[in-house]
Structure 1
Amino acid sequence: MITGFLSLLCLGLCLGYDDEHKNDTLPRPSLHALPGSVVRRGGNVTLKCQGPLQNVKFMLGKWQAPGYRREWSSAGHDAGFLLTHLGPEHAGRYFCAYKTAGSHVWSEQSEHLRLEVTDNHDRPGAPSAKIDSRVIFVTAFSCLAIFLLFPTVFLIYRRSQSGESTETPIETAGEGE
Protein backbone atom coordinates (compact mmCIF):
# COMPACT_ATOMS: atom_id res chain seq x y z
CA MET A 1 0.00 0.00 0.00
CA ILE A 2 2.82 2.40 0.82
CA THR A 3 4.49 1.50 -2.46
CA GLY A 4 1.33 2.40 -4.40
CA PHE A 5 0.99 5.67 -2.48
CA LEU A 6 4.63 6.60 -3.14
CA SER A 7 4.23 5.72 -6.83
CA LEU A 8 1.16 7.96 -7.13
CA LEU A 9 2.92 10.75 -5.21
CA CYS A 10 5.97 10.51 -7.48
CA LEU A 11 3.79 10.47 -10.60
CA GLY A 12 1.84 13.51 -9.36
CA LEU A 13 5.03 15.42 -8.62
CA CYS A 14 6.50 14.55 -11.99
CA LEU A 15 3.36 15.59 -13.85
CA GLY A 16 3.15 18.82 -11.84
CA TYR A 17 6.78 19.63 -12.60
CA ASP A 18 6.27 18.86 -16.29
CA ASP A 19 3.24 21.21 -16.45
CA GLU A 20 5.18 24.04 -14.80
CA HIS A 21 8.14 23.41 -17.09
CA LYS A 22 5.88 23.68 -20.16
CA ASN A 23 4.59 27.08 -19.00
CA ASP A 24 8.13 28.35 -18.51
CA THR A 25 8.96 27.51 -22.11
CA LEU A 26 5.86 28.94 -23.78
CA PRO A 27 7.04 31.00 -26.73
CA ARG A 28 6.94 34.75 -26.26
CA PRO A 29 3.93 36.48 -27.90
CA SER A 30 4.22 39.57 -30.08
CA LEU A 31 2.43 42.89 -29.67
CA HIS A 32 1.57 45.30 -32.49
CA ALA A 33 -0.38 48.57 -32.68
CA LEU A 34 -2.93 49.06 -35.44
CA PRO A 35 -2.90 51.40 -37.31
CA GLY A 36 0.35 52.50 -35.60
CA SER A 37 2.02 53.26 -32.27
CA VAL A 38 1.77 57.06 -32.68
CA VAL A 39 -1.85 58.13 -32.25
CA ARG A 40 -3.40 61.59 -32.04
CA ARG A 41 -5.22 62.66 -28.90
CA GLY A 42 -8.84 61.51 -28.97
CA GLY A 43 -8.07 58.76 -31.49
CA ASN A 44 -8.31 54.98 -31.21
CA VAL A 45 -5.77 52.19 -31.46
CA THR A 46 -5.96 48.40 -31.31
CA LEU A 47 -3.13 46.62 -29.51
CA LYS A 48 -2.98 43.15 -31.06
CA CYS A 49 -1.32 40.34 -29.12
CA GLN A 50 -0.38 37.24 -31.13
CA GLY A 51 0.75 33.89 -29.82
CA PRO A 52 1.50 30.49 -31.30
CA LEU A 53 -1.33 28.61 -29.56
CA GLN A 54 -5.11 28.66 -29.96
CA ASN A 55 -7.74 28.74 -27.22
CA VAL A 56 -5.73 30.79 -24.77
CA LYS A 57 -6.35 33.74 -22.49
CA PHE A 58 -4.42 36.87 -23.42
CA MET A 59 -3.47 39.60 -20.99
CA LEU A 60 -2.50 43.19 -21.81
CA GLY A 61 -0.47 45.10 -19.24
CA LYS A 62 1.17 48.49 -18.97
CA TRP A 63 4.73 48.91 -17.72
CA GLN A 64 4.95 50.74 -14.37
CA ALA A 65 1.16 50.59 -13.98
CA PRO A 66 0.49 47.49 -11.87
CA GLY A 67 -3.25 48.24 -11.68
CA TYR A 68 -3.62 48.19 -15.47
CA ARG A 69 -4.59 44.75 -16.73
CA ARG A 70 -7.01 43.59 -19.42
CA GLU A 71 -7.75 39.96 -20.24
CA TRP A 72 -9.41 38.39 -23.26
CA SER A 73 -10.07 34.72 -24.06
CA SER A 74 -9.57 33.85 -27.70
CA ALA A 75 -10.31 30.78 -29.78
CA GLY A 76 -7.69 31.92 -32.30
CA HIS A 77 -4.01 32.86 -32.20
CA ASP A 78 -4.54 36.52 -31.28
CA ALA A 79 -6.57 39.04 -29.34
CA GLY A 80 -7.19 42.71 -30.06
CA PHE A 81 -7.44 45.22 -27.23
CA LEU A 82 -9.19 48.39 -28.41
CA LEU A 83 -8.17 51.62 -26.68
CA THR A 84 -10.51 54.53 -27.44
CA HIS A 85 -10.54 58.29 -26.85
CA LEU A 86 -6.83 58.33 -26.15
CA GLY A 87 -5.30 60.96 -23.91
CA PRO A 88 -1.83 61.54 -22.45
CA GLU A 89 -2.56 59.04 -19.68
CA HIS A 90 -2.72 56.24 -22.28
CA ALA A 91 0.83 56.85 -23.50
CA GLY A 92 3.44 54.41 -22.23
CA ARG A 93 4.92 50.98 -22.72
CA TYR A 94 2.55 48.04 -23.10
CA PHE A 95 3.17 44.29 -23.11
CA CYS A 96 1.11 41.13 -23.40
CA ALA A 97 1.25 37.51 -22.29
CA TYR A 98 -0.97 34.45 -22.56
CA LYS A 99 -1.80 31.26 -20.70
CA THR A 100 -3.44 28.01 -21.67
CA ALA A 101 -6.84 26.98 -20.33
CA GLY A 102 -5.50 24.55 -17.72
CA SER A 103 -2.62 26.71 -16.53
CA HIS A 104 -2.31 29.36 -13.86
CA VAL A 105 1.08 30.60 -15.10
CA TRP A 106 1.44 33.27 -17.78
CA SER A 107 3.87 33.03 -20.66
CA GLU A 108 6.89 35.27 -20.90
CA GLN A 109 5.95 38.89 -21.66
CA SER A 110 6.11 40.21 -25.20
CA GLU A 111 8.57 42.90 -26.18
CA HIS A 112 7.34 46.25 -24.88
CA LEU A 113 5.46 48.44 -27.35
CA ARG A 114 5.72 52.19 -26.82
CA LEU A 115 2.44 53.99 -27.46
CA GLU A 116 2.66 57.74 -28.10
CA VAL A 117 -0.35 60.05 -27.89
CA THR A 118 0.18 63.40 -29.62
CA ASP A 119 -1.74 66.56 -30.30
CA ASN A 120 -3.04 67.00 -33.86
CA HIS A 121 -0.10 69.18 -34.93
CA ASP A 122 2.43 66.63 -33.63
CA ARG A 123 1.26 63.62 -35.63
CA PRO A 124 3.61 62.37 -38.36
CA GLY A 125 3.25 64.27 -41.62
CA ALA A 126 1.65 67.33 -40.04
CA PRO A 127 3.51 70.61 -39.66
CA SER A 128 5.10 70.82 -36.26
CA ALA A 129 4.46 73.73 -33.92
CA LYS A 130 7.78 73.09 -32.21
CA ILE A 131 10.73 74.71 -33.94
CA ASP A 132 14.25 73.74 -33.08
CA SER A 133 16.33 76.67 -31.78
CA ARG A 134 19.22 75.64 -34.05
CA VAL A 135 17.02 76.18 -37.10
CA ILE A 136 16.13 79.66 -35.88
CA PHE A 137 19.79 80.51 -35.25
CA VAL A 138 21.00 79.26 -38.65
CA THR A 139 18.19 81.08 -40.46
CA ALA A 140 18.82 84.35 -38.64
CA PHE A 141 22.59 84.10 -39.16
CA SER A 142 22.14 83.36 -42.88
CA CYS A 143 19.82 86.33 -43.36
CA LEU A 144 22.22 88.62 -41.50
CA ALA A 145 25.18 87.41 -43.57
CA ILE A 146 23.30 88.00 -46.83
CA PHE A 147 22.08 91.39 -45.63
CA LEU A 148 25.67 92.47 -44.83
CA LEU A 149 27.19 90.86 -47.93
CA PHE A 150 25.31 92.94 -50.52
CA PRO A 151 26.17 96.38 -49.06
CA THR A 152 29.80 95.29 -48.63
CA VAL A 153 30.07 94.15 -52.25
CA PHE A 154 28.34 97.35 -53.39
CA LEU A 155 30.75 99.55 -51.38
CA ILE A 156 33.80 97.69 -52.69
CA TYR A 157 32.52 98.08 -56.25
CA ARG A 158 31.84 101.84 -55.80
CA ARG A 159 35.29 102.39 -54.26
CA SER A 160 37.00 100.58 -57.09
CA GLN A 161 35.01 102.59 -59.64
CA SER A 162 35.61 105.93 -57.95
CA GLY A 163 39.34 105.16 -57.57
CA GLU A 164 39.73 104.57 -61.32
CA SER A 165 37.80 107.68 -62.32
CA THR A 166 39.92 110.01 -60.16
CA GLU A 167 43.21 108.60 -61.37
CA THR A 168 42.33 108.67 -65.05
CA PRO A 169 41.59 112.38 -65.34
CA ILE A 170 44.78 113.28 -63.46
CA GLU A 171 46.90 111.15 -65.76
CA THR A 172 45.08 112.49 -68.78
CA ALA A 173 45.43 116.06 -67.58
CA GLY A 174 49.19 115.57 -67.05
CA GLU A 175 49.71 114.15 -70.52
CA GLY A 176 47.77 116.90 -72.24
CA GLU A 177 50.01 119.79 -70.95
Structure 2
Amino acid sequence: MDIDVVYLLCLGLCLCYGGEEENEELPRPSISAWPSSVVKCKSNVTLRCWTHFQNVTVTLGKLHNSGYQQELRSAGKEAEFHLTNLQPEDAGGYFCAYRTATSHRWSGQSQHLQLVVTDGVGGGGGDPPRPSNSKLIFLATFSCLCISLLFVSIFFIYRRTQQVTLNDHVCKYEHEAGWGE
Protein backbone atom coordinates (compact mmCIF):
# COMPACT_ATOMS: atom_id res chain seq x y z
CA MET A 1 0.00 0.00 0.00
CA ASP A 2 1.18 3.47 -0.73
CA ILE A 3 2.19 5.55 2.34
CA ASP A 4 -0.11 8.40 1.27
CA VAL A 5 -3.13 6.06 1.29
CA VAL A 6 -2.24 4.78 4.75
CA TYR A 7 -1.80 8.37 5.99
CA LEU A 8 -5.19 9.42 4.59
CA LEU A 9 -6.86 6.30 6.00
CA CYS A 10 -5.47 7.02 9.48
CA LEU A 11 -6.45 10.67 9.24
CA GLY A 12 -9.99 9.73 8.21
CA LEU A 13 -10.35 7.24 11.05
CA CYS A 14 -9.11 9.79 13.59
CA LEU A 15 -11.55 12.41 12.33
CA CYS A 16 -14.44 9.94 12.40
CA TYR A 17 -13.55 8.83 15.93
CA GLY A 18 -13.39 12.41 17.18
CA GLY A 19 -16.71 13.23 15.52
CA GLU A 20 -18.46 10.34 17.25
CA GLU A 21 -17.14 11.48 20.63
CA GLU A 22 -18.54 14.96 20.06
CA ASN A 23 -22.01 13.54 19.29
CA GLU A 24 -21.98 11.08 22.18
CA GLU A 25 -24.25 12.15 25.04
CA LEU A 26 -23.30 11.73 28.67
CA PRO A 27 -25.72 9.57 30.70
CA ARG A 28 -28.12 11.57 32.85
CA PRO A 29 -27.37 11.80 36.56
CA SER A 30 -29.86 11.02 39.32
CA ILE A 31 -30.88 13.19 42.28
CA SER A 32 -32.27 12.45 45.74
CA ALA A 33 -32.94 14.30 48.99
CA TRP A 34 -31.78 13.30 52.45
CA PRO A 35 -33.42 12.90 54.91
CA SER A 36 -36.54 13.63 52.83
CA SER A 37 -37.86 15.84 50.05
CA VAL A 38 -40.53 17.11 52.47
CA VAL A 39 -38.92 19.19 55.23
CA LYS A 40 -39.96 21.73 57.83
CA CYS A 41 -39.19 25.41 57.58
CA LYS A 42 -35.76 26.41 59.00
CA SER A 43 -34.46 22.81 58.69
CA ASN A 44 -31.69 21.44 56.49
CA VAL A 45 -31.64 19.02 53.57
CA THR A 46 -28.89 17.47 51.46
CA LEU A 47 -29.50 17.06 47.75
CA ARG A 48 -27.33 14.25 46.35
CA CYS A 49 -26.46 13.94 42.69
CA TRP A 50 -25.10 10.62 41.41
CA THR A 51 -23.12 10.66 38.19
CA HIS A 52 -21.73 7.88 36.02
CA PHE A 53 -18.15 9.19 36.27
CA GLN A 54 -15.76 10.18 39.03
CA ASN A 55 -14.15 13.58 39.46
CA VAL A 56 -16.69 15.61 37.52
CA THR A 57 -18.08 19.13 37.83
CA VAL A 58 -21.68 18.96 39.05
CA THR A 59 -24.21 21.77 38.93
CA LEU A 60 -27.46 22.05 40.88
CA GLY A 61 -30.22 24.10 39.32
CA LYS A 62 -33.75 25.10 40.24
CA LEU A 63 -36.70 25.07 37.86
CA HIS A 64 -38.21 28.46 37.03
CA ASN A 65 -35.17 30.21 38.53
CA SER A 66 -32.40 30.54 36.00
CA GLY A 67 -30.37 32.63 38.46
CA TYR A 68 -30.10 29.77 40.94
CA GLN A 69 -27.05 27.61 40.39
CA GLN A 70 -24.58 25.87 42.66
CA GLU A 71 -21.54 24.14 41.23
CA LEU A 72 -18.95 21.86 42.81
CA ARG A 73 -16.36 19.27 41.92
CA SER A 74 -17.10 15.70 43.01
CA ALA A 75 -14.40 13.43 44.39
CA GLY A 76 -16.27 10.26 43.51
CA LYS A 77 -19.49 9.61 41.63
CA GLU A 78 -21.60 11.58 44.12
CA ALA A 79 -21.92 15.30 44.84
CA GLU A 80 -23.73 16.67 47.89
CA PHE A 81 -25.38 20.08 48.01
CA HIS A 82 -26.28 21.19 51.55
CA LEU A 83 -29.30 23.49 51.76
CA THR A 84 -29.63 25.03 55.24
CA ASN A 85 -32.23 27.08 57.12
CA LEU A 86 -34.84 26.37 54.45
CA GLN A 87 -37.60 28.88 53.81
CA PRO A 88 -40.85 28.49 51.82
CA GLU A 89 -39.22 30.19 48.81
CA ASP A 90 -36.63 27.38 48.74
CA ALA A 91 -39.37 24.91 47.79
CA GLY A 92 -39.58 23.89 44.15
CA GLY A 93 -38.11 21.60 41.54
CA TYR A 94 -34.37 20.89 41.60
CA PHE A 95 -32.19 19.09 39.08
CA CYS A 96 -28.51 18.41 38.51
CA ALA A 97 -26.19 17.92 35.55
CA TYR A 98 -22.46 17.29 35.18
CA ARG A 99 -19.53 17.46 32.81
CA THR A 100 -16.31 15.49 32.75
CA ALA A 101 -12.83 17.03 32.63
CA THR A 102 -12.48 16.02 28.96
CA SER A 103 -15.93 17.19 27.88
CA HIS A 104 -16.94 20.78 27.34
CA ARG A 105 -20.62 19.89 27.25
CA TRP A 106 -23.02 19.29 30.13
CA SER A 107 -24.94 16.05 30.53
CA GLY A 108 -28.71 16.10 30.30
CA GLN A 109 -30.63 17.15 33.39
CA SER A 110 -31.56 14.59 36.02
CA GLN A 111 -35.20 13.90 36.80
CA HIS A 112 -36.67 16.84 38.70
CA LEU A 113 -36.87 16.51 42.47
CA GLN A 114 -39.73 18.40 44.10
CA LEU A 115 -38.64 19.90 47.42
CA VAL A 116 -41.52 20.77 49.76
CA VAL A 117 -40.92 23.13 52.69
CA THR A 118 -43.74 23.04 55.27
CA ASP A 119 -44.48 25.60 57.95
CA GLY A 120 -44.41 22.85 60.60
CA VAL A 121 -47.98 23.63 61.73
CA GLY A 122 -50.20 20.71 60.73
CA GLY A 123 -49.14 20.82 57.11
CA GLY A 124 -47.33 17.75 55.88
CA GLY A 125 -43.93 16.47 56.75
CA GLY A 126 -45.31 14.19 59.46
CA ASP A 127 -46.50 10.64 59.39
CA PRO A 128 -48.75 9.66 56.50
CA PRO A 129 -52.47 9.83 57.27
CA ARG A 130 -53.88 6.75 58.94
CA PRO A 131 -57.32 5.34 58.25
CA SER A 132 -59.91 6.28 60.84
CA ASN A 133 -61.25 3.68 63.27
CA SER A 134 -64.64 3.61 61.54
CA LYS A 135 -62.96 2.68 58.22
CA LEU A 136 -60.99 -0.10 59.93
CA ILE A 137 -64.14 -1.45 61.59
CA PHE A 138 -65.99 -1.40 58.27
CA LEU A 139 -63.15 -3.20 56.47
CA ALA A 140 -62.88 -5.85 59.20
CA THR A 141 -66.65 -6.43 59.24
CA PHE A 142 -66.86 -6.59 55.45
CA SER A 143 -63.96 -9.07 55.30
CA CYS A 144 -65.52 -11.31 57.95
CA LEU A 145 -68.87 -11.20 56.15
CA CYS A 146 -67.25 -12.18 52.82
CA ILE A 147 -65.37 -15.07 54.44
CA SER A 148 -68.55 -16.26 56.20
CA LEU A 149 -70.52 -16.20 52.94
CA LEU A 150 -67.75 -18.15 51.26
CA PHE A 151 -67.87 -20.89 53.94
CA VAL A 152 -71.69 -21.05 53.82
CA SER A 153 -71.58 -21.38 50.03
CA ILE A 154 -69.01 -24.15 50.22
CA PHE A 155 -71.09 -25.95 52.88
CA PHE A 156 -74.28 -25.86 50.77
CA ILE A 157 -72.44 -26.98 47.65
CA TYR A 158 -70.91 -29.87 49.61
CA ARG A 159 -74.31 -30.87 51.09
CA ARG A 160 -75.98 -30.73 47.69
CA THR A 161 -73.36 -32.96 46.08
CA GLN A 162 -73.65 -35.41 48.99
CA GLN A 163 -77.46 -35.59 48.61
CA VAL A 164 -77.19 -36.19 44.87
CA THR A 165 -74.60 -38.90 45.45
CA LEU A 166 -76.72 -40.48 48.22
CA ASN A 167 -79.87 -40.41 46.02
CA ASP A 168 -77.92 -42.03 43.18
CA HIS A 169 -76.77 -44.82 45.51
CA VAL A 170 -80.30 -45.35 46.90
CA CYS A 171 -81.79 -45.49 43.38
CA LYS A 172 -79.09 -47.86 42.21
CA TYR A 173 -79.59 -50.10 45.27
CA GLU A 174 -83.39 -50.13 44.82
CA HIS A 175 -82.97 -50.95 41.14
CA GLU A 176 -80.58 -53.79 41.87
CA ALA A 177 -82.80 -55.13 44.64
CA GLY A 178 -85.83 -54.91 42.43
CA TRP A 179 -87.78 -52.67 44.76
CA GLY A 180 -88.39 -49.94 42.23
CA GLU A 181 -90.39 -52.27 39.92
Q: For this structure pair, what is the TM-score category when the shorter chain's length is used for normalisation? A: 0.5 to 0.7
| Contact 2:49-2:96 within 8 A present in 1 as well | yes
Summarize the Cα distance change of 1:12–1:69 in structure 2 as closer, same or farther, 3 Å threshold: farther
TM-score, scaled relative to structure 1: 0.62
In 2: Cα distance, 1:120 partner to 1:88 partner: 11
CA drift of 1:53 comes to 1.2
Partner residue in 2 for 1:59? 59
Could you list the per-position Cα deviations for residues 103-162 of structure 1 after superposition, in whole angstroms to 9, with x for gaps in the alignment? 111111110000011101124327xxxxxxxxxxxxxxxxxxxxxxxxxxxxxxxxxxxx
Please list every run of 5 or more consecutive structure 2 residues that lacks an aligned counterpart in the other structure. Answer: 128-181
Alignment deviations for residues 51-98 of structure 1 (CA, whole Å, 9 cap, x no partner): 121111111111111111111111201000001111111111000111
Structure 2 counterpart of 1:104: 104
Going from structure 1 to structure 2, the CA distance change for 1:63 and 1:8 (only over 3 Å counts) comes to: farther
Cα distance, 1:48 vs. partner?
Answer: 0.2
User: Which residue in 2 is equivalent to 1:35?
Assistant: 35
Q: Which residue of 2 aligns with 1:19?
A: 21
Unaligned 5+ segments in structure 1 are 127-177
Deviation at 1:32, TM superposition (A): 0.2
Counterpart of 2:126 in structure 1 is 125
**Cα distance change of structure 1 residues 13 and 60 upon mapping to structure 2, 3 Å threshold:** same
**TM-score using structure 2 length:** 0.60
Alignment identity in percent? 51
Which letter does structure 2 place at the counterpart of 1:58? V
**Distance (Å, rounded) in 1 between the aligned partners of 2:113 and 2:99:** 20
Partner of 2:158: none
RMSD (Å), alpha carbons: 2.5
After the TM superposition, list the runs of 4 or more consecutive aligned residues in structure 1 that deviate by more than 2 angstroms. Answer: 2-16, 123-126
Aligned residues: 124
Q: Is the 8 A contact 2:54 2:76 kept in 1?
A: yes
Residues 12-44 of structure 1, C-alpha deviation per residue, up to 9 Å, x if partnerless?
Answer: 64344222223x1x2211100000001111111
1:80 corresponds to which residue? 80
Rounded Cα–Cα distance in structure 2 between residues aligned with 1:4 and 1:87: 65
Q: Check the 8 A contact 2:118/2:125 in 1, yes or no.
A: no
Separation (CA, whole Å) in 2 of partners of 1:70 and 1:105: 17
